[in-house]
Structure 1
Amino acid sequence: SDLGDEGIAVIGTDPEHHKANAWKVVRTIKCQGGGSLFIKTHPKSTNLYVDTALNPDTKISQSVAVFDINNLDKGFEVLDIAGMAGLGEGPKRVVQPEFNKAGDEVWFSVWSGSKEESAIVVLDDKTRKLKTVIKDKRLITPTGKFNVNNTMHDVY
């Protein structure tokens, strides 16, 4: 994904079986806007989540785009993650989709201002529906919620 535009660059990463495409951009996919920081999938998921936390349009920065990796030509579904958090008025930024170890949940940080409530939103990956919202007054612009197992074993 790219901070500056709405494109997602698909790069060939298999020099052994696809030498002609190795380490080259083989396709660009249109997303909902620029300002993306994180893009995430999991080996057990058919979804690809793209945040746009730095997009100046609040509707875009408060949501994520989700692609079906088996049908990228279908386009993306927009999920209003900030709306699911139920945090009330004020600007929000949704950032960093992160899977649990099993690959059946995806967690999003919802940033608010330093004096407003923030949250972590947990979705069911298969249905793309809300499972739970984690709120706490100590949760201020939550970041770095990396799954230790996935990080240690390079599960992306």
Structure 2
Amino acid sequence: WDASGRYFMVAANASNKVAAVDTKTGKLAARVASAKFPLPGRGANFVHPEFGPVWSTGHLGDAVVSLISAASDDLKFDKYKANNWKVVQELKMPGAGNL
């Protein structure tokens, strides 16, 4: 889930994408290309100083954490809307990724 609780994040591992489902409308909000085998079960939410609200996830067998800008209805995050549903940063990690 994103921090607002509105968007359910789910991996489409075979296509290396993360899908964001809008639980308010019941529709797909976005499909975000990411590093190989995203693992959203361990995602974390925080407000990035440059990109606003982000949801982060590791990847199976890949030593990277992707930060995906999440949409928000909160007006204080309006200035970050251009980044919504994009990988805004990839953090290289030591090791071989998540299991």
Query: TM (normalized to structure 2)?
Result: 0.54
**1:131 positional shift:** 6.3
| 1:3-43 CA distance string (max 9 Å, x none) | xxxxxxxxxxxxxxxxxxxxxxxxxxxxxxxxxxxxx143x
**1:123 positional shift:** 1.1
Structure 1 alignment gaps of length 5 or more: 1-39, 86-90, 144-156
Q: Which residue of 1 aligns with 2:20?
A: 66
The answer to whether 1:79 aligns with 2:31 is: yes
Q: Which residue of 1 aligns with 2:8?
A: 49
Comparing both structures, which one devotes a greater share of its residues to strand? 2
Classify the secondary structure of the residue corresponding to 2:94: coil
Q: Between Structure 1 and Structure 2, whose CA radius of gyration is higher?
A: 1
Q: Whose relative contact order is higher, 1 or 2, with alpha carbons under 8 Å and at least 6 apart?
A: 2
Runs of 4+ in 1 over 6 A off after TM superposition: none
Q: Distance in 2 between matches of 1:52 and 1:131?
A: 14
Check the 8 A contact 2:32/2:86 in 1, yes or no: no
Structure 2 alignment gaps of length 5 or more: 73-80
**1:109 positional shift:** 1.6
**1:112 positional shift:** 4.2
Aligned-residue RMSD, C-alpha: 3.4
Check the 8 A contact 1:122/1:133 in 2, yes or no: yes
Q: How many residues align?
A: 85
CA separation of 1:81 and 1:107: change in aligned 2, threshold 3 A: farther
Q: Which residue of 2 aligns with 1:105?
A: 53
The answer to whether 1:129 aligns with 2:81 is: no
**1:66 positional shift:** 1.8
